[in-house]
Amino acid sequence: MHARLPRHLIHSGISLAILVAACSERPTAPATSAASALSADRDNGDNDNERRVGAARCDADNAGLTLPPGFCALVVADLVEDGQPAQARHMAVTPNGDVFVAINSPNNQNPSFGIIGLRDHNGDGHADEQSRFSPGLGGSGLAWDDGRLFFGANDRVMRFRLPSGRLTPTDAGETVVAGLPNTGDHISKTVVLSDHRQLFVNIGSASNSCQIANRVAQSPGVFPCPELPIRAGVWLFDARGTNQSEASGTHYATGYRNLVALAINPMDRQLYTVQQGRDMLFENWPQFYTQDESANMPAEEFAIVTKGSNNGWPYCYFDAVREHKKVLAPEYGGDGHRVQGPQGIDCASYNQPILTFGAHWSPDGMLFYDGKQFPERYRGGAFVALHGGFNRAPEPNQGFQVQFVPFGRNGRPAGGAETFADGFAGSTGPLPATAKHRPVGVAVGPDGSLYVSDDKGGRIYRILFVGGRDRDHH
């Protein structure tokens, strides 16, 4: 399905169903380089051009976002699917600037179309053409590789061919991997390509902490956890293969509860993640935790996912508040302080985070910035999209922003996480119920712009750097 859209129809949220489908592919003009566009605009000193990169002009209100000095934002599109704001998840941006967006299928309730393609013909930053494909199959993960689009649905990975800058695929899609687990608590699949052959896929846990009765107070954990051989980890597949299964793939890493945020760092070619930590410490184990402690524990762990690594779920979690280390989960004999358990568990032996984020912030997307538009300090650093939590009572839920982690030349964080883009929620609460937007995916365009997706309001944002060179040291 393929349509050329007037901008006012995209931003008014009118369903694509009322539009006349077009049948031809239109090539996109070569993108202006970030360096030449910025140079041209900075030479022209009027205020309007100070908020532009090339023809792309930021919105007067920065699309509702709060950003660091020198940055501004615009709305690429407000997407609608089945008469509602589209649940936009991960994105893939092609070398010609087309943006593909995965549309989610929560609880395996599939949308009419699982992928939306966006094209900006005149370079003003706003999508004026859409395509829709993957009928009746939604999902969360997207990755681009030289004319091939990989799509992570809840139970499979698909591959679509989009050669020569096409906005719609030339085929109905090939099944790369089938039969992936899609039941229980965590069913979204993220897909990450390391090269033309290596395809990483996360398979989240089916439960909160592998209890006999999931999320039930005082229910003990099962040991060994029966989920670990088939869930709560990362699998590696052949990106060029078809009809693979979980069993035919390589079980790359284990003990990772849910890794929706997953990315390759170009500096060291290693796989990184920000794990979504467990819930319900106070609710299920009030003899060991206060409500306040439960609201602020455990940390969301920024970690390197090496082959054969074990992050310790469900036996351990990282406490960044009291103990500042991994401690034994209460389901396995922990009391908030112990590190070792009666089953031979030693939390110090598991993979450890290189940095932590606040509890229950729900990291859903990440990338390492390899563009040239942003100042030098951002290059090689990590952007992390925090979807925002729901279970920090009695404290207010937090997250709902994009944070940035600077990285040094040694390939490790050069400082703590800092807020980069805020204001997505557009509400003082209660959150997440009243949130207008919730960030999920992050992607870099060919000019170095940062794209952010939102699965609450269906919005696609584009963030530009328009500040002068004198801001680079800040």
- Residue 144's closest CA among 370, 443, 387, 365? 443
Q: What is the pLDDT of residue 391?
A: 84
Residue 93 half-sphere exposure toward CB, CA atoms < 13 A: 23
For residue 253, which phi and psi values (nearest 5 degrees)? -155, 155
Q: Alpha-carbon distance 202 to 236, whole Å?
A: 9
Contacts of 453 (CB under 8 A, 6+ apart): 88, 89, 90, 91, 101, 365, 385, 439, 440, 441, 442, 459, 460, 461
pLDDT single digits (tens) 40-56: 343 333 355 578 899 99
Look up tokens 């563009």; give the residue: 371
Tell me the mean pLDDT in the region 426-438: 94
Cβ count near 205 (within 10 Å): 26
Examine the pLDDT at 158 and tell me if it is beyond 50.
Answer: yes
Q: Please say whether the beta carbons of 365 and 28 come within 8 A.
A: no
2-471: CATH number = 2.120.10.30
Give the pLDDT score at 20. 30
Confidence at residue 428, expressed as pLDDT on a 0 to 100 scale: 86
Q: Identify the pLDDT of residue 470.
A: 39
Domain boundaries, the chain: 2-471
| The pLDDT value given to residue 180 | 98
CA 59 vs. chain centroid, Å, equals 24
Return phi, psi of residue 299, to 5°: -70, 155
Token digits of residue 398: 């937090």
CA atoms within 13 A on the CB side of 276: 34
- d(CA 345, CA 417) in angstroms, rounded, equals 31
Mean pLDDT of 318-347: 97
Residue 23 pLDDT greater than 50, yes or no: no
pLDDT for residue 76: 98
Q: Which distant-in-sequence residues (6+ apart) come within 8 Å of 50 by Cβ?
A: 41, 42, 466
Q: What pLDDT score does 34 carry? A: 38
> What distances in angstroms separate CA 403 from CA 41, 73, 151, 364, 445, one per listed residue?
28, 15, 25, 12, 18
Calpha distance 265→304 (Å, rounded)? 10
**Rounded CA separation 86/94 (Å):** 21
The pairing of beta strand 355-357 with beta strand 363-368: unpaired
